[in-house]
Amino acid sequence: MLSRTADCLYWMARYTERAENTARMLDVNHQTSLLPQPEEFLEQSWKKLLTISKLEDAFLKQYKAINRENVLDFMIYETSNPSSIVSCLFAARENARVIRGRITSEAWETQNTTWLELQHILEARTQADPSRLLEWVKHRCHLFRGVMHGTMLKNEAFYFMNVGTLLERADNTARILETKYEDPAALKVLRSEAQSEADGADGDFFDFYHWAALLRSVSAFEIYRQIYSDQVTPKQVAQLLIFNKQMPRSLVCCVNELIPLISEVKNQQSKEIERLLGKLKASLDYSDIDEVFSQGLEEFIEEFLERINHVADEFSNAYLIPLAVA
């Protein structure tokens, strides 16, 4: 397979996964922002969403205030933002167009129809309901993934698409964990302020919605209830999203699924990728949540992000078009 073909397959899947992840986080933040809460708490939640994608500086160059309307506009419609939903869906469709001969007609038609329908949505963006739009984005991304699994041969093209999906998913889950857990002291202050301003509210209310929002950002709230069936606690949330092998968006699940995919596309340069993934899998298999919290969750996640992004860089060097050439 040509490197350009592999590159398009990989990035088509990765951009589709990114669009879905962005839609899920925006939808959760939008729904949570409708709850009664002080302005400081509200602004902090939208700021954290920008921090997850490392886009705070880019946002502040175009907008004066961090609020719901500006962040939604920037993260959904802004074409200068490479991680906006419009940018991701456009990039996914363009990559699909280039290699439409290597994917099924159903997979191509799904990507193309998504882009064509989005044009009608953009024409009426001033009247668009954010929740309905974000649900539509999630539905279209789910549809593409289902079509991919249901119609494509389990060959190299399929494997490259899955690698892109899993690397993007692992990166996203780790960033959400890192951002939502950072600065607990600030969260406590904001919660205390909210508690004093909300009649009849208590700290448990704000704790619950904070951690429930984190779980919903990775479609894990119902899974959490099935496994733990008690109150939502930070340690159990981290346990689920890092170490649960059955949770499809957990860090360990993404790493475990990546390893056999790399063996399917093995070449002379892939040995280093297998070594890096093997070490990362071992570090997850032989760690537990108590050890993570004693080390510091933020340090653990930062290390994981560094290692998974190193894997992505090595994969790009071994199979894809160098960024300088692309």
What pLDDT is attached to residue 48?
82
pLDDT greater at residue 237 or residue 41: 237
Say if residues 179 and 51 touch (Cβ distance below 8 Å). yes
Mutual orientation of helices 203-217 and 3-33 as an angle, nearest 10°?
160
| DSSP state string for 16-45 | HHHHHHHHHHHHHHHHHHTS---HHHHHHH
Q: How far apart, in whole angstroms, are the C-alpha atoms of residue 319 and residue 266?
A: 10
- pLDDT score of 98 more than 60: yes
Tell me the two tokens of residue 192.
């205390």
Centre a 10 Å sphere on the Cβ of residue 159 and count the other Cβ atoms it contains.
19
Taking all residues of the chain, what is their mean pLDDT, rounded to a whole number?
86
Give every CB contact of residue 160 below 8 A, 6+ residues apart in sequence. 1, 6, 9, 10, 13, 265, 319
115-165 pLDDT per residue, tens: 999 999 888 887 778 889 999 999 999 999 999 999 999 999 999 999 999
162-213 pLDDT per residue, tens: 999 999 999 999 988 887 765 444 344 434 444 444 444 444 555 677 788 7
What pLDDT is attached to residue 232?
85
- pLDDT score of 325 more than 60: no
Please state the rounded mean pLDDT for residues 272-283: 95
Percent of the chain at pLDDT exceeding 70: 88
212-269 pLDDT per residue, tens: 878 888 889 999 999 998 788 888 999 999 999 999 999 999 999 999 999 999 888 8
| Least confident window among 52-61, 100-109, 132-141, 151-160 | 52-61
Handedness of CA 142, 99, 322, 263 (dihedral sign): positive
What pLDDT is attached to residue 37?
67
Where does the chain have alpha helices with state H?
Answer: 3-33, 39-52, 56-60, 68-76, 85-98, 105-123, 130-151, 156-181, 184-197, 203-217, 221-228, 234-243, 251-264, 271-285, 289-295, 297-319
Tell me the two tokens of residue 66.
């961090």
Q: How confident is the model at residue 17 (pLDDT cuts 50, 70, 90)?
A: very high
What pLDDT is attached to residue 202?
45
User: Any idea what DSSP says for residue 154?
Assistant: S
Q: How far apart, in whole angstroms, are the C-alpha atoms of residue 160 and residue 72?
A: 31
- pLDDT score of 61 more than 70: yes
What pLDDT is attached to residue 43?
76
- pLDDT score of 76 more than 90: yes
